[in-house]
Amino acid sequence: MDTQAEPGPRRPSPASLDLAIEGMTCVACATRIEKVLGRLPAVRASVNFATGRARVTFDPGCTDEAALTEAVARAGYSARVIETLPGAEEATATADADARRHEATLALAGSGLLTLPLLAQMGGMFMGRHEWMLPDALQFALATAVQFGFGRPFYRGAWNALRGGGANMDVLVALGTSIAWGYSAVVTFAAPGSHLYFESSATIITLVLLGKWLEARARSRTGAAIAALIALQPPTARVERTSPASAIDLLEVPVSQVLPGDMLQLRPGESFPVDGEVIDGRSTVDEAMLTGESLPVSKGSGDTVFAGTLNGTGALRVRATGIGSTTALARIVRLVGEAQGSKAPIQRLADRIAGVFVPVVLALAVLTFGGWMLSGAALVDSLVPAIAVLVIACPCALGLATPTAVIVGIGEGSRAGILIRNAAALEAAHRLDLLIVDKTGTLTTGAPQVTRVIAFGGASEADVLAIAAALEADSEHPLAAAIRRAAAAGHGTPAPHAEAFQAVVGSGVRARIDGRDALLGSVDWLQAEGIVLPARVQPAGDDADPLTWIAVAHGGRALGMVGMADALRPDTAGAVRRLGATGVELLIMSGDHPAVTARIAAQAGIERWRARCTPADKAAEAVRLKAAGRSVGMVGDGINDAPALAAADVSFAIGSGSGIALHTADITLMASRLSQVVDAIDLSRATMTKIRQNLFLAFAYNVLGIPLAAAGLLDPVIAGAAMAASSVCVVGNALLLRRWRPAHPAPEHILHSPATKGA
């Protein structure tokens, strides 16, 4: 008896999720959590200190969500799985951030009030007003309340870090202030009347709390882009409901209760609550919040509208097609959130340094103390510079230098209709020196018109268009749409039904119509398929008026040819000049005829071009140029561009293009304008400038501050103030990116909407 081996169990495909991490106080915490999660089987994690999130990829067959959160808990932190519904987690994060800022405000106010008398007496000493000195017992009481009351979070954070086998900023602050407080407490009771350092310990804690409050306040502004996107969607919708009496009632319901297929009514000036299809009415719609395009778009029956966009002066009746997480707005919010949580390659250096930073600082503090003791200094004179080293050496600025700039840069891009998939793409775009561009739909409008039809062998022009329209009935290609429009406009007979449809990428399509094979595509492809074209007909060589020609065959014989022309996009020539001015060279690679490609290249002002390129040709050229040392970008909009988009260093997809191109590309241009490529490169360069400035500030702060503290030239209080200021400076510098504006900005009412003003 024959036996068949049973197939083994299928291994689950890798899964990914985002975790919200609580308890991180510096980048050393993020590094520690990455290591802890990375020790789990088949787990890869990337923790972003600036966003407080971890992106985790794992094998469900080896690890589950509970194991991930438990590992984070064992490291001394807490983790929560982020819900996948876009907007919900962002709203929760915003509420949590507001609550934390409120708590930080109360802690700062309380600590400041208790520290103020200690600071006042220190000021009195400098002015010779010794009567301002507080009794030792009162100093002890005030400093103790600050140290163990408002400073308790530092002890808790330090204990959690040490318990998890790591060390972070809390260890430095807790250790430094505890030494100052502990020495003063001993002296208070063992040698009354001696000099005390209670004001140093209390002031350091207060200054660190001030820095945390300022940092939280500044960092909350980096999420303004997502907050503005979420605010675009109205909370309610007016939906048509059928009453028991079969009458149609108009009810205002929460957006969450809208179902696919529901009929909605939109008044002039209202925002669309969901994605939908216009059923009745005509209006203009402002889509700048999604595309960055400043001109309103005309909408009528059959057109698509998107959640968050703004209706113009007309009333519309819309059928809901996309709700909740399936709307274009929700996908953009999700994409922007994931991109903001990703890490740029340039951050690796900072992460490596942060991983060993705190232990090195602890060693430097011990060496500082020992060096001063060996030099003959007194105990207290040796402790003060060691405390200053512990306090000034905060890795927060180093950890915030890159991610804050990335968050702001990606957020500003989203507001301009430039959706950047991850931080690596944002970083790579600034290095581009050569850009490969597709022609149809990228340089041109992508909406060609049928200008000429040639029929062969007794067939009519109507027959040619009818067969062509049947073959292109389900195609998304711009040329297919032009053929369908021509057929529908009365230039052809009703299209017959096509069966067994098959697309041949880069060549054409085939199907069966009325039981016979039908082909549509390039002349070369039809000839390769054995179709004989009349020798006297050479329309593709008409250089006086070069058109894009498509051949049509039915039943094994040539039926005719369809000639089409496409117009250059209005912004293309200007974008080409701007790219040239920034040092980016352009190369057109098109599958079209050389004469057509040459005409478009001349109109656009592009010198280098190649025609009759297959998808493999485009991808191979991108690989060849990269091997030659060029940094290559690719701009496209069609299925045939996907291989080249994947092969390029940075890929740009025109927003109106195919779904495959959008999923393959690193950067999506929602306004479908080549000028947005220029804006994306400009934004990348501006972001990288801020990252370099931030890294310089962070490194320079520590390189200069630690030696000064070790040399006894910085009082611990001054060191605490400098540490608090360093993070604020880095975040504030990153926020200056919000001044960036695209060459073709969105309207003022979008850039300065209530959602963005309050951020």
Give yes or no: residues 555 and 609 share one domain.
no
Give yes or no: residues 199 and 109 share one domain.
yes
Give yes or no: residues 100 and 205 share one domain.
yes
**Domain span holding position 301:** 236-323
Q: Determine contact, residues 264/317, Cβ cutoff 8 Å.
A: yes
Count Cβ neighbours within 10 Å for each residue of 490-517 and write b for 16 or more, e otherwise: ebbeebbebeebeeeebbbbbbebeeee
Q: How far apart are CA 99 and CA 166, in angstroms?
A: 28
The letter for the amino acid at 101 is: R
Kindly state the helix (H) or strand (E) to which residue 716 belongs, with its residue range. helix 716-735
The secondary structure of residue 223, as a DSSP letter, is: G
The string of pLDDT tens digits covering residues 200-211 is: 888 888 877 887
Tell whether 676 is covered by a domain. Answer: no
Q: Which CATH number characterizes residue 244's domain? A: 2.70.150.10
Give yes or no: residues 314 and 458 share one domain.
no
Catalytic residue among 438, 641, 666, 679: 438
Q: What is the dihedral of CA 266, 272, 276, 280, to 10 degrees?
A: 20
Q: Is 641 a catalytic residue?
A: no
Q: Determine contact, residues 94/227, Cβ cutoff 8 Å.
A: yes
Per-residue pLDDT band for 228 (boundaries 50, 70, 90) equals low
Tell whether 3 is covered by a domain. Answer: no
Tell whether 755 is covered by a domain. Answer: no
E-assigned strands of 417-536?
A: 418-420, 434-437, 449-455, 498-504, 508-513, 516-521
Give 251-276 as a 3 state SS string.
EEEEHHHCCCCCEEEECCCCECCCEE
Q: How far apart are CA 453 and CA 560, in angstroms?
A: 7
By three-state DSSP, how is residue 238 classified? strand
Highest mean pLDDT among 336-350, 534-548, 725-739: 725-739
Give yes or no: residues 31 and 138 share one domain.
no
Give yes or no: residues 272 and 201 share one domain.
no
DSSP states of 301-316: TT-EE-TT-EE-SS-E
Tell whether 747 is covered by a domain. Answer: no
Q: Which CATH number characterizes residue 465's domain? A: 3.40.1110.10
Domain boundary among 513, 531, 565: 565
- What value does the CA radius of gyration of the chain take, rounded to a whole number of Å? 33
Give yes or no: residues 590 and 554 share one domain.
no
Domain boundary among 323, 351, 370: 323
The string of pLDDT tens digits covering residues 390-406 is: 878 766 777 778 888 88
DSSP states of 348-384: HHHHHHHHHHHHHHHHHHHHHHHHHHHTT--HHHHHH
Give yes or no: residues 219 and 343 share one domain.
yes
The letter for the amino acid at 611 is: A
* pTM beyond 0.85: no
Tell whether 8 is covered by a domain. Answer: no
Give yes or no: residues 560 and 651 share one domain.
no
Tell whether 36 is covered by a domain. Answer: yes
Q: What is the pLDDT of residue 150?
A: 92
Task: Pull the structure tokens for residue 349.
Answer: 């250096």
Tell whether 10 is covered by a domain. Answer: no
Quote the distance between the C-alpha of residue 23 and its chain's center.
Answer: 24
The string of pLDDT tens digits covering residues 684-739 is: 999 999 999 988 888 888 888 889 989 988 888 787 777 777 877 888 898 898 88
In this predicted structure, the answer to whether residue 674 has a pLDDT above a threshold of 70 is yes
Comparison of pLDDT for 132 and 560, the residue scoring more: 560
Give yes or no: residues 495 and 467 share one domain.
yes
Weakest-pLDDT range from 90-104, 203-217, 645-659, 668-682: 90-104
Give yes or no: residues 30 and 154 share one domain.
no
In this predicted structure, the answer to whether residue 630 has a pLDDT above a threshold of 90 is yes
Domain boundary among 503, 530, 565: 565
Task: Pull the structure tokens for residue 313.
Answer: 């002066």
Q: Determine contact, residues 429/667, Cβ cutoff 8 Å.
A: yes
Count of structural domains, the chain: 5
| Residue 678 CB-density burial (10 A; 0-12 exposed, 13-18 middle, 19+ buried) | buried
Give yes or no: residues 277 and 158 share one domain.
no
